[in-house]
Structure 1
Amino acid sequence: MATQKSPKLDKRLVTETALRLLNEVGLDGLTLRAIAKELNVQAPALYWHFKNKQALLDEMATEMYRRMVADVPVAAAATWQDRLLASSRGLRTALLGYRDGAKVFSGSRFTGTLHAVEMEATLRLFTQAGFTLPQAVRATTTAYMYTLGFLTEEQGVQPLPGERREGYDVEERAARMREFPLAAAAGEQIFEGYEEGFEEGLRLVVAGIEARYGIR
């Protein structure tokens, strides 16, 4: 009886397997041992391609970005506001497709320079609009960190679209906090309507940038 052979192991295969497994087990359950089992190899074989889990997370974040720009490229924008809105929305949409996507993306270091293409275009648009380079960097990174922070909280409640973790029932929360009526009522704004909440927050970021730097 012929034995089943494992596919040829390379960095791309490991990364794709890790991203697929991420949606099943989440970031905490994503171990090199679990990935090796999925690939039908011994865990030490993965160390030929990634020296540790963080190196793998870096490549996973890079692959997420590759897929994002391939599937939802940011169209040429006439204004810096349009560019900021489009890139932030695109990032959130892309990362919503992965369980713990924001956590994987946050703090990871891209392994290539593909991201520099969009970054260069964005900074050029901002500086041509009147921003200094430091102002452009601060404005864009603020929107980026808002998006990741918002999504981290969103995925803490809804790990994937259509899922909801136990303990986030708004009505139960309101009843438990009935002695604090404003805080109780706030639950509906905090733990529901993420699409609307993200858009409103993003508009606040843009308005804040306009007000702070006086550039419209």
Structure 2
Amino acid sequence: MARPRRPGDSRIKITVASIADTALAMIREAGVDSLTMRALAARLGVSAPALYHHVAGREELLDLVARRVPADSGDTETSLDSVTTIEEYVDLARPGALAMRDYYLGHPGLARVMLDRVGGRRTDTVDDRDERTHADVEALTRTGLEPAQASATFDTLARWTLAAIAAEHDAPPSRQSDESFAHGLDLLLTGLTTSVNQALTSEDPETRR
């Protein structure tokens, strides 16, 4: 009769994907603060040295987690291909942001991890996560924005959404917080729509001479 595998059993095989998925499960259950290399190794049933063979440390682990986070909860990326106006983009961005909030509130502390990486400290990890960023920027470009403007616009939307979610980390979910997030999101998207349409309808000063 085969003996059951014990924690630290060298016969247990782990992969980068299984490490990231297990880490996400731990975050969902007890928050980011519960995620340590030692706790993760125990959860995987391997020794700490075996885990360090795949991941150099906690920061690299969080990078892996960031790349494993789902881009969205549906076929939004496909829908973005048909966007040609800012109104069409906003119609997709709003439910996408609400779905993102639901996901991150179910993974306490994860929004802050993502915000750190979107916010300029390790942006390469977010670019590697999926192609959703590129799909959003391309969609915004088709609305009439220059590529640099489209990229900056998406960055602003992503930062605000993650920052707003991160701010809710210590507060229990409530109807008031739901309404506050939705209100702030609507203000942001309304401002974006107005700004883009004004930019597209304004005349180039050079043409007035």
TM-score (norm 1): 0.72
Following superposition, the deviation at residue 122 of structure 1 comes to 1.9
1:212 aligned residue (180, 187, 195): 195
Query: Which stretch has the larger CA shift, 49-58 or 87-96?
Result: 87-96
Distance 1:72 1:4, change over 3 A: same
1:34 aligned residue (34, 39, 45): 39
> 1:11 and 1:111 mapped to 2: Cα distance?
17
Deviations 1:100-138 (A, max 9, x none): 22123222453774522x223222221221111222122
- Cα contact 2:33–2:109 (8 A) shared by 1: no
> 1:39 and 1:127 mapped to 2: Cα distance?
44
1:89 aligned residue (78, 88, 98): 98
Matches within 5 A, 1:42-57: 42-57=47-62
- Cα contact 1:36–1:43 (8 A) shared by 2: yes
What residue number does 1:3 align with?
3
SS of alignment partner, residue 142 of structure 1: helix
SS of alignment partner, residue 102 of structure 1: helix
What residue number does 2:206 align with?
none
- Cα contact 1:72–1:90 (8 A) shared by 2: no
> 2:126 and 2:143 mapped to 1: Cα distance?
30
Distance 1:135 1:111, change over 3 A: closer
Percent identity over the alignment is 27
SS of alignment partner, residue 87 of structure 1: helix
> Which ranges in structure 2 are unaligned for 5 or more consecutive residues?
118-123, 201-209
SS of alignment partner, residue 72 of structure 1: coil
The answer to whether structure 1 residue 23 and structure 2 residue 6 are counterparts is no
The answer to whether structure 1 residue 76 and structure 2 residue 79 are counterparts is yes
> 1:110 and 1:18 mapped to 2: Cα distance?
16
2:147 aligned residue (118, 133, 144): 133
- Cα contact 2:141–2:150 (8 A) shared by 1: yes
- Cα contact 1:18–1:30 (8 A) shared by 2: yes
> 2:53 and 2:22 mapped to 1: Cα distance?
16
What residue number does 2:125 align with?
110
Distance 1:111 1:133, change over 3 A: closer
Following superposition, the deviation at residue 33 of structure 1 comes to 0.6
> 2:192 and 2:28 mapped to 1: Cα distance?
35
TM-score (norm 2): 0.74
Aligned length: 181
> 2:2 and 2:98 mapped to 1: Cα distance?
50
Following superposition, the deviation at residue 200 of structure 1 comes to 0.9
